[in-house]
Amino acid sequence: MSTTAAQARRAADGEPETDRQEPLLLVGEAIATPARLTGDVTVRQSIAVTTWRRLRRIKPLTLFWLLIVLILVLPILLFLTVAISPSLLDQGTQAFTLSAFADALTGQLLVGFLNSLIIGIATAVISAAIGFALSWIVLRTDAPGRRIWTGVVFALLLTPSYLIALGWERLLEPNGVLQVIGWDATGLRGIFYGPVGIVVVLTVKGIPFAYLAISNALRGLGHEYEDAVRVHGGGRVAAMKAVITLLAPAMWSALAIVFAESISDFGVASTLANDSHFPVATYTLYNAIQAFPVNFPVASAVSWLLLVLVVLALFAQNRALRGRSFRVLGGRSRPAIRHQLGRRAKVVTTVFLALLLVTALGVPTFGAVAASLIDGLGSLAGTHQLDLSNYQRVISSPQLSQPLMYSAGLAAIAATVTIFLAAVCARLLANSGASVGGRILDLVLLAAVALPGIVFAAGYIFAYNLPVVNSLGIHIYGTTALLLLAYIATALPSTSRVLVGTMSQIQESMAQASRVHGSGAIRSWLSIVLPITARPLLTAWLLTYTATLLELPVSQLLAPPGSEPISVGITSTLGKYDFGGGTAMEVLAILSALVVVAVAYALFRFVAPAGWKNIGGTR
């Protein structure tokens, strides 16, 4: 029955519109088609203005969608509009044109797209594979050294790709470290400075997302499924296959997010493929933005094409997950059991972990050491000594402390708001196979990732600096509030995807049973869903916090004049060739975030009730 019919009847009956409830199962239907959505939103907006009492009656889900429209859809759509109607945002004279596409679609761009596609797929697959292997080793085996990996993953998340690239460069360059200690790095350099290097660096950046998404889901998966395979004659490999199949929503989440992150990358590709003539899709976009006057229509046209890649990724995901259920987390799940690794397996996993640690974290750490502990520009060949003068210099500088506090505060608020929104998103995404709304959300979220940050931020300026917005008395552009909203929007896609695995595992009866036994929606959420998902939510919070702390492109475009986020401070220090000072600031910011991570996990360990820790625990 259509909603309109229901509303008509309600009006006819004159019944009070109280206590309406959305059934859990029907989220998708409730959201309905985009056409209805926008209609709904406009209608709701006008209501919202009138009175508070009426606002209370708006479906909570409608409010959620309204927010999604405001912080994601509107900026993205406005930016995309520039390609076909430059005059609308004063970026040209034509009201409708396709010339931006003609300008963008050069041979180089098409090659770039193919390259980006290959890079994206390779990075996504390798990251997901490593993420899974790591999750398995950390959660399901007694491999030595497994405990440090949560910390390592957050360190990776925090490590800027410039430090990773820098570390590799310092190792491999002519007269670099490897050559100084007597290795000829020429061959390796030829391989690394090009697609291989790009994939390596992007994979290192992709591993945290993959690991967090997959390990969250693996925690919720009891041991009985593996046992079932083993009992029925399947070997260890077959058991792992079954686990991978059950983790499909998380695996695809990881693949999609890493893919989207990779195709939107420009910095890594431009640094590492600098002289190997390996154009990527974003090259044309950056060139259009780099030149002045900035050519937004062309940047927008390239963004349209990036969206095509995202749609392809989502298409693959939906095909793979269609019509399957992955609800395995409920009262009957039992804690998993750790495998006792044999001696050989122990050696193999130790070597794997050590290699991963060295490649992923060792190299950028080396880069950071080279840049920040050595005076000047980090040459090892000279008489430079390792010293802490850069740290002494920046640690007392107000250029570090004020921006760091500002960013840390914003990151904490953004993380707190984001995990709530992300939990709702993840729930919708978990059902995405079944509902139009879920699919649209999926597309919007992934689009936000696939568009380079600077483009996304420009969309924010278009949307919230419109003269019409100002004339309504809303001056939100240039405020910390808008920066915060943009942070939330930027973090929402990856945080949601990290939670998808968990949210698709919770059995619906968990919350239903609470409602049936007398708890309202909010109390049910707080007393049942929150504890069951406590650990993944904590992880998601930390992910958002750490990712937001050092977020750059949005900070650059949207930070209010006079307030400087730490990432902008670091970048402008680096931009003034103060590599030592900039990197020292960066390292200190990273350490501060790692302290937050450590404190958060310690609190969870000592303060959370025993029952919370049962879930996803391992015996």
Partner 1 sequence: MTLKSRFATGGVLALAALTLAGCSTTAASTTSSVSTPNKVEPLVLYAAEGYDAVMAKAFTKKTGIPVQVDDDSTGPLLTKIAAEKNNPQWSLLWVDGDTAFASLDKQGELLHYAPTASWNTVGKTLVPLDNSYDPTGTTVMAGLIYNAAAVSSVPTTYQDLLGAAYANKVGMNDPSQSGPTYPFIAGLMNQLGGQASGIADGEAYFTKLKANGLKVYPTNGDTLHALETGQIDYGLIQSSAATGETIKVKPTAKYQPKVVYLEKSTLLPSVIGIDKGVDATQQAEAKQFVDFALSPAGQAVMQTGDASGDSLFWPVVNGVTPLSQLSAFPSAYQRIDPAYWGPLQAQVVTWFDSTIK
Partner 2 sequence: MTVIQSSGPARELTAESRGEGVHIRGVRKAYGTVEALKGVDLDIAASQFTVLLGPSGSGKTTLLRGIAGIERFDVGSVHFGDKLISRGSHHLPSERRGLSMVFQDYALWPHMTVRQNVAYAIRRQRLGATAAELRVVEALDRVGLSAKSAAYPHELSGGQQQRVALARAIVGDPPLVLFDEPLSNLDADLRERLRVEIATLTRASGATALYITHDQAEAFALADQIGVLNQGRIEQLGTPEQIYQAPATQFVARFTGLGGSFVGKYVGDRGGYGQVRVGEHQLRCVPSSTVARHIDVELLIRPTASRLLPRPEGWPTSASENLEDIEATIVDVAYRGRGYDHVVDCAYGRLVGVFDVQAWPRGTRCLLRIEPDGCLAFPAEDRATRSNSR
Residue selected from 401, 480, 512, 563 as contacting partner 2 according to rule CB under 8 A: 512
- The values of phi and psi at residue 196, to 5°, are -60, -45
**CB 418, min distance to partner 1, A:** 9
Degrees (nearest 5) of the Cα angle 283, 287, 289? 120
Which residue, 396 or 614, is less far from partner 2 as judged by CB?
A: 614
Q: Can you tell me the distance from the alpha carbon of 391 to that of 580, in angstroms, rounded to the nearest whole number? A: 8
* 524 scored as a contact of partner 1 (CB under 8 A): yes
SS3 (DSSP) at 175: coil
Site for partner 2 in 554-613 (CB under 8 A): 609, 611-612
# residues near partner 1 by CB under 8 A: 99
Return d(Cα 536, Cα 527) in angstroms, integer. 16
| DSSP letter assigned to residue 15 | -
Q: Rank residues 129 and 380 by Cβ distance to partner 1 and give the closer one.
A: 380
> Which CB, 122 or 585, lies closer to partner 1?
585
For residues 381-392, one letter each, b for 16 or more C-beta atoms within 10 angstroms of the residue's C-beta and e for the rest, the string is eeeeeeeeebbe
Alpha-carbon distance of 106 to 112, in angstroms, equals: 10
Q: Does 184 bind partner 2 (CB under 8 A)?
A: no
* Nearest-approach distance from CB 361 to partner 2, in angstroms: 34
517 binds, among partner 1, partner 2, none (CB under 5 to 8 A by kind): partner 2
Residue 513 sits in the site that holds partner 1 (CB under 8 A): no
Residue 286 touches which of partner 2, partner 1, none (Cβ within 5-8 Å per kind): partner 1
Binding partner selected for residue 381 from partner 2, partner 1, none, CB under the kind-specific 5 to 8 Å limit: partner 1
Those residues whose C-beta lies under 8 Å from the C-beta of residue 367, and which sit 6 or more positions away, are: 163, 164, 165, 166, 167, 168, 169, 170
Residue type, 430: A
Nearer to partner 2, 349 or 505 (CB): 505
What count of other Cβ atoms lies within 10 Å of the Cβ of residue 374? Answer: 21
* Binding span for partner 1 by CB under 8 A among 170-178, 226-234, 306-314, 337-345: 170-178
User: How many other CB atoms are found less than 10 A from the CB of residue 366?
Assistant: 18
Q: Is 46 in the site for partner 1 (CB under 8 A)?
A: no
- Which window, 6-14, 120-128, 273-281, 311-319, contacts partner 2 (CB under 8 A)? 6-14
Side chain identity at residue 69, one-letter code: V
Which pair of structure tokens corresponds to residue 293? 């006057």
Q: What single letter denotes the amino acid at residue 530?
A: L
Q: Give helix then strand counts, H and E, for the chain.
A: 35, 0
Touching partner 2, residues 330-349 (CB under 8 A): 330-335
Minimum CB distance to partner 1 smaller for 408 or for 423: 423
- Contact set for partner 1, span 99-128 (CB under 8 A): 108
Cβ–Cβ < 8 Å for 257, 247? no
- Return the CA Rg of the chain: 25
Which residue from 500, 583, 587, 596 is spatially nearest to 546, judged by alpha carbons? Answer: 596
What is d(CA 570, CA 73) in angstroms, rounded to the nearest whole number?
A: 30
Tell whether residue 265 is a contact of partner 1 (CB under 8 A). Answer: no
Binding flag, residue 484, partner 1 (CB under 8 A):
yes
**Amino acid making up residue 206:** G
What binding mask, one character per residue, do residues 518-537 give for partner 2 by CB under 8 A, x or -?
xxxx--x--xx--xx-x---
Binding to partner 2, residues 479-508 (CB under 8 A): 507
Residue (177 or 513) nearer to partner 2, CB = 513
Asked whether the beta carbons of 601 and 594 are under 8 A apart, the reply is no
Binding range to partner 2, per CB under 8 A, among 19-27, 79-87, 292-300, 390-398: 19-27
Using CB under 8 A as the binding rule, the residues of this chain from 173 to 202 that contact partner 1 are 173-176
DSSP state of 51: -
Q: Of residues 24-63, which lie at the interface with partner 2 (CB under 8 A)?
A: 24-26
Q: Rule CB under 8 A: say whether 135 interacts with partner 2.
A: no
**d(C-alpha 504, C-alpha 533), whole Å:** 11
Stretch that binds partner 1, among 225-233, 378-386, 387-395, 608-616 (CB under 8 A): 378-386
Q: Please report where in the chains the tokens 């987390």 appear, as a residue.
A: 329
Q: How far is the CB of 57 from partner 2 (least distance, A)?
A: 12
| Contact window for partner 2 (CB under 8 A) among 11-19, 233-241, 354-362, 449-457 | 11-19
Looking at beta carbons only, is 149 or 391 nearer to partner 1?
391
- Taking CB under 8 A as the rule, does residue 141 contact partner 1? no
Beta bridge partners of 386: 374
468 contributes a contact to partner 2 by CB under 8 A: no
Query: How many CB atoms lie under 10 A from the CB of residue 441?
Result: 26
Structure tokens, 527 = 């007393």
Q: Is 4 near partner 2 (CB under 8 A)?
A: no
Q: In Å, how far are 171, 181, 369 from 375, measured between CA atoms?
A: 18, 21, 11
**What x/- string results for residues 272 through 291 when contact with partner 1 is judged by CB under 8 A?**
--xx-x-x---x--xxxxxx
The span from the CA of 327 to the CA of 501, in Å, is 10
Binding to partner 1, residues 412-441 (CB under 8 A): 413, 417, 420-421, 423-424, 427
Binding site for partner 2 (CB under 8 A): 1, 6-7, 9-10, 13, 15-21, 23-26, 329-335, 507, 509-510, 512-521, 524, 527-528, 531-532, 534, 609, 611-612, 614-615
